[in-house]
Amino acid sequence: MKRKWWHGKVAYQIYPKSFQDTNGDGIGDLRGVIDHLDYLKSLGIDIIWLSPIYQSPFVDQGYDISDYYKIDEIFGTMEEFDELLAEAKKRDMYIIMDLVINHCSDQHEWFQKALKDPEGKYGDYFYFRKGKDGNPPSNYRSYFGGSAWEKVEGTDYYYLHMFAKEQPDLNWNNPEVLNELYTMINWWLDKGVAGFRIDAIINIKKDLSFPDYEPDGPDGMTGIFHMVEGVDGVGELLEDLKHTFEKYDAFTVAEVFNMKKDELEEFIGDDGHFSTMFDFSAHEMTFGDHGWYDAKKVRFDDLKKEIFHAQKECEDVGFLANIIENHDEPRGASRYLPDYLQNEDGIKLLGTISVMLRGIPFIYQGQELGMENIPFKSIDEVDDISTLDEYKVALDAGLTPEAALKAVARRSRDNARTPMQWTGEENAGFTAGTPWLRVNSNYTAINVEKETIDPNSVLNFYKKLIALRKDPEYKETVVYGALEPFMEDRHNLMAYYRKGDKTLLVVGNYQWDEQEITLPSECKKVLINNYPDMVLDGNSVKLHGYQVLVVELA
Ligand code: TEU
Ligand code: CA
């Protein structure tokens, strides 16, 4: 594997709207990000991914961009963005932007022009097709529910939107569109952004015959992902993009779902289209067959199997970006730990398992504090477009309103979007005004201020984990060492080696009962421990409930 500048880095995702408000409008802003760069630096963060800050009507929280060259005024100004870049640079930190190019906003000038003349130049920037006998061109259900085709009033035309109807898909077969996108990408790279997180990229490849698929729900439609799975050749579309990134030695992390088995090398190999891509294997395990309401509970042994499988697949190919949560997922602490044990030890165990994997760790804002899901009191508290749709899906499936709320609350994207918890003061120190989304009431116990001074806090534990990745003595092993499972079949035990110039063993006891294991060789040094002690007798270790260790072996 070719060595790259980002291999040893640790990344952090900021959801700007919920990070820090500085002008009292209840919405996080760029000034708030600048103000906390030192906090992130002290945590050990190198790369910051900003969820979209471009001009947007916010139908899907900024993932609907109406001008790729403007900072939305709710976040601040371009001058402030430049200041952020400069301040990050001073601290040896890198900023990456969210690149949302499968679709734009229906308020984008391209789409406004297209609507006026679907057969004209701008009509070809999108996918306008005529309906079939008064029906949409095909039976696709969009990711956010309802038909993926929206009728243009007063014409026979429909346009394609894989997400909300306010997010029309861009036509990647039109060279003019690609030119517009490449120009824009170059413009941001010239400005000094270090790269991009690339949104929903697998969806850019369409089957232009737009075939119908077997309906998979009571609405008679079929999830549009069936079209994605049924078409090959996304890689061809990505070639030029790759050269653009190469020119700048940019770091890119792709959001890829529904990848074909043989595409891994093409995506993240030495000459791959992206630097890395997220490992969503844990997240994917909780997908329901019909919606969030029939989402599956994850058994820890299965989770472990998935993680090891993903690591194995990429061991000779490249690096995955490892996550526990992001802005589309519930909080890991609430999701991957059983209810009765969502405590600090469990949270530290999850964090260790993830951060010590081979790959690039991405920490989502608040994860380092052990932030948890928010108990929604009513569906009226929900902002997220996807949650509102899934609520409807659950009701349509016959769930009572109470049951439907409970089901979608577990999985809601808003769980991760509640304001960052900075202090124990009102609104967790996030805003002096009214927060756009309710602050989780646990903020008096879980916040940066409190955790900074508590040596045993989740925050200080994360600092140690990240510091270990960067420790000159262990860096080579943690970054490049092979990952090998240890005692893979032991129930409720997650254990793996990292083997480089040193041999490390990561062991986590995912249960309340003690568990005894025998180390394969002598323990030279304990590097990470979420308990004050380690019960060692010869080479045998008695692990406490939810104990996690990283040890150096002889
Ligand atoms: O998500 C794309 C995605 O593929 C979805 O699976 C998404 O996770 C799901 O709909 C959640 O309910 C990306 C962004 O991360 C997401 O926030 C955006 O809403 C979406 O693209 C559209 O841009
Ligand atoms: Ca603000």
Q: Which residues surround ligand 2, an ion (CB under 5 A)?
A: 21, 23, 25, 27, 29
pLDDT by residue (tens digit) across 69-102? 999 999 999 999 999 999 999 999 999 999 999 9
Could you tell me if the CB of 328 is within 6 A of ligand 1?
yes
**What average pLDDT does range 175-199 have in this prediction?**
98
Catalytic residues: 199, 255
**Protein residue closest via CA to atom 16 of ligand 1:** 328
End-to-end, the C-alpha distance of the chain in Å comes to: 27
Could you tell me if the CB of 80 is within 6 A of ligand 1?
no
Give the ligand 1 atom nearest the CA of 326: 15
β-strands 251-254, 195-198: how paired?
A: parallel
How much is the pLDDT for 89? 98
In the chain, the amino acid numbered 116 is K
How much is the pLDDT for 340? 72
Q: How far apart are CA 488 and CA 482, in angstroms?
A: 16
Which ligand is in closest contact with the Cα of 25? Answer: 2
**Dist. CA 20 → ligand 2 center (Å):** 7
pLDDT by residue (tens digit) across 357-380? 999 999 999 999 999 999 999 999
Q: Is 297 exposed, middle or buried (0-12, 13-18, 19+ CB in 10 A)?
A: exposed
How much is the pLDDT for 456? 97
How much is the pLDDT for 261? 85
Phi (first) and psi of residue 402, to 5 degrees: -65, -45
Confidence label for 1 from pLDDT (cuts 50, 70 and 90): confident
pLDDT by residue (tens digit) across 269-292? 999 999 999 999 999 998 888 899
- As a whole-number percent, the residues of the chain with pLDDT over 70 amount to 100
Which ligand is in closest contact with the Cα of 163? Answer: 1
pLDDT by residue (tens digit) across 5-40? 999 999 999 999 999 999 999 999 999 999 999 999
How much is the pLDDT for 398? 95
Could you tell me if the CB of 63 is within 6 A of ligand 1?
yes
With the most atoms of ligand 1 within 8 angstroms of its CB, the residue from 199, 227, 280, 415 to mutate is 199
Phi (first) and psi of residue 517, to 5 degrees: -135, 160
pLDDT by residue (tens digit) across 325-341? 999 999 999 999 988 77
Beta carbons within 10 angstroms of residue 144's beta carbon: 22
**Dist. CA 144 → ligand 1 center (Å):** 9
Specify the range with the lowest mean pLDDT, choosing from 52-61, 176-185, 337-346: 337-346
Could you tell me if the CB of 98 is within 6 A of ligand 1?
no
The helix (H) or strand (E) run that includes residue 321 is: strand 320-322
pLDDT by residue (tens digit) across 44-76? 999 999 999 999 999 999 999 999 999 999 999
In the numeric block, which tokens belong to residue 353?
Answer: 């398992």
User: What's the chain's average pLDDT?
Assistant: 97
Under DSSP, is residue 466 helix (H, G, I), strand (E, B) or coil?
Answer: helix
Q: Report yes or no: 228 and 239 within 8 Å, Cβ to Cβ.
A: no
**Angle between helices 385-396 and 401-411 in degrees, nearest 10:** 140
**Dist. CA 23 → ligand 2 center (Å):** 5
Give the ligand 1 atom nearest the CA of 164: 22
Could you tell me if the CB of 200 is within 6 A of ligand 1?
yes
**Dist. CA 36 → ligand 2 center (Å):** 14
With the most atoms of ligand 1 within 8 angstroms of its CB, the residue from 163, 167, 196, 283 to mutate is 163
- As a whole-number percent, the residues of the chain with pLDDT over 90 amount to 96
Beta carbons within 10 angstroms of residue 31's beta carbon: 18
Residue 223 pairs with which residues in a beta bridge?
141
Could you tell me if the CB of 337 is within 6 A of ligand 1?
no
Nearest to 368 by CA among 277, 459, 233: 459
How much is the pLDDT for 359? 98
Which ligand is in closest contact with the Cα of 27? Answer: 2
The DSSP 8-state label assigned to residue 221 in this structure reads -
**Protein residue closest via CA to atom 4 of ligand 1:** 200
With the most atoms of ligand 1 within 8 angstroms of its CB, the residue from 13, 15, 63, 106 to mutate is 63
Check pLDDT > 90 for residue 111.
yes
How much is the pLDDT for 289? 87
Could you tell me if the CB of 100 is within 6 A of ligand 1?
yes
Could you tell me if the CB of 15 is within 6 A of ligand 1?
no
**What average pLDDT does range 198-208 have in this prediction?**
98
Which ligand is in closest contact with the Cα of 287? Answer: 1
Under DSSP, is residue 457 helix (H, G, I), strand (E, B) or coil?
Answer: coil
**Protein residue closest via CA to atom 10 of ligand 1:** 143
**Protein residue closest via CA to atom 17 of ligand 1:** 328
How much is the pLDDT for 552? 98
pLDDT by residue (tens digit) across 478-532? 999 999 999 999 999 999 999 999 999 999 999 999 999 999 999 999 999 999 9
Give the ligand 1 atom nearest the CA of 64: 23
In the numeric block, which tokens belong to residue 513?
Answer: 């009962």
